[in-house]
Structure 1
Amino acid sequence: MVTAPLRSDGVRVRAPGKLNVFFEVGPLLDDGYHAVASAYQAVSLFEDVWAVAADDFRLDVTGSVDVSAVPVDDRNLALRAARILAQHTGFDGGVHLTVDKHVPVAGGMGGGSADAAAVLVACDALWGTEVGSAELHRLAARLGADVPFALMGGTAVGLGRGDRLSPALATGRFEWVIVLSNGGLSTPAVYRELDRLRSGAAMSGHPSTGAIRLSGRTGRSQDDADPLVAPGVLHALRAGDAHALAGHLHNDLQEAALSLRPDLRGVLDLGDRSGALAGLVSGSGPTVAFLSEDLESALELQVTLSAAGYTALHVHGPVPGARLI
């Protein structure tokens, strides 16, 4: 049993948000989940976590984004991450966590998962539990599908529920402009809307829209059990070719997110008209991400979108996963 913290002065860990540059969703399974195939890229919008030794488990949340809806009890993945590591290692103390959020809340960029990944790294260092990278990844997978990738960072392919990760070679640097949105979208609600749209299309006999197909780029039917990342995505990442990647950006959740938030169509249209190579809803939304040709083009697009009244940020990827600062 671990009884004393290694770092009495506390530790700080930074973890990145993510974009799903490709996201394919399989049919609803008997367990209520969907198999997915994702190409993740960690980008330079970070969450910072401070961990200080304490007798109990406490969480404070601040940030540059609206954090009013973020719970500070055990509904929060960050606090659950600390508890699961303590339980796993037999640590009998606690931790005071402070999370400084910059990834939009419920925005489809994995901010909560980044918090949980950062807490696992922070508490492991603070408590001196030294469980090792492989064990941290196993604990991360118990917390959610995106948490292992927030640990890994870089670029990766995720299969299964998104947590069976394989690093993907990506050369160069990809420039993105993300547009934040007022209010979030519930990931379960977006998946339910996807299932509703698919069911309605199947009944009508017109399974042709992006809301219901798995992905027109793979040529496979919705009945296939295991979705896959389109090879063109991996080739474009490997080549560091933004133009090629733009032709393969895809998100099966996009039409469901747009069904719940029709206003996002205007954002996508403006970005397309303003020089973006391509744009898509990030994950379950409502954050919208635009891929740019280069840094200059990204900064010009950010200015254009900001002038139109949107909150637009320039980020780049890939960047490392959760790291001690």
Structure 2
Amino acid sequence: MALSFVACSDSDSTTKSVAGTVGDITLDRQTIGTYQPFTAQCAVASGSNLYDEKFYWEKGGTEDLSSLRDQYETKDGISSYYMQGMKAGKHTLVCKMAAVGNDGQQYTAEKTLTVEIVPTDIRNNFWGETQEETRRNLTYYTTMQQEADGGFTFEEKDAYGDLNYSTELQDGISVSPWRLVSLEYDEAGKLERVVYICIPSEVRADAIVSRLGLRKQLLERYEGFTSFACDCIVGDGVVLTDEEQAMVDQFKGGSLTTDSGTALDKAVAEQRVKLELTAENNVSRLRITVTGMGTGSDAQTQMVFSRK
């Protein structure tokens, strides 16, 4: 009986490469506010017979967050993207796989999700959020402390503008060098007040009223506050000069002078008069109180934001 032989080609002995897969993207928060941290995840599976394979994430749109501490990792079949926060609007997240097989073929796969970031009520917080929610929103705050009453405090630059509240402010239009921020809660543990204590680091007793005027302009422009009302509180037993009384009346009428070194500046610094300013926007009320720190000194500004 004759024997026959079949030759085996090189392709018969080559194991075909199999690409990895990328699952749908999910988020760990149902509602994501401006500059609130969140995590995006998707299930991934590695391929086989691959020379190189990687899973990675991309953000679409025009926003540049390269300076933030966003990071991603792939572990135990899950690729996670830890986001420090983004500004309000729609953003595109993409989880991608790229690989090169031992057969020389290139493989790609990706899943895309459009994330809508909604405006918050104040900073990167919502009125009525719990202390646990606030703690998460302050994940990247390095000076944050929780007080005995459950509230949170931290220090930052006293600044205004289109700001990134994912951590303590370092940039923006500065009014005074720094401020102490306190987040306060009601008996049910819901956020009800945010308080700023703004303290100048240099003596500018001649700029107390003009500085308040600048603060008013910035609050109007960047935080939508309107309906400003001005008031002066004269200390018990204090008798104002005619010039001081005229400036008090002018201030109460809504005129915040931009002049420096006025009689009203001096009266405030000497703790004879306090300045008050109230305003509101769509979701918050605001009361500003300017209190002198003594003759030859400057003034401290307290700003109390509360839920409407």
Query: Which structure has the larger Rg over C-alpha atoms?
Result: 2
Task: Identify, as 1 or 2, the structure richer in strand.
Answer: 2
What's the TM-score, normalizing by structure 1? 0.30
Which has the higher relative contact order, 1 or 2, with Cα contacts under 8 A spaced 6 or more apart? 1
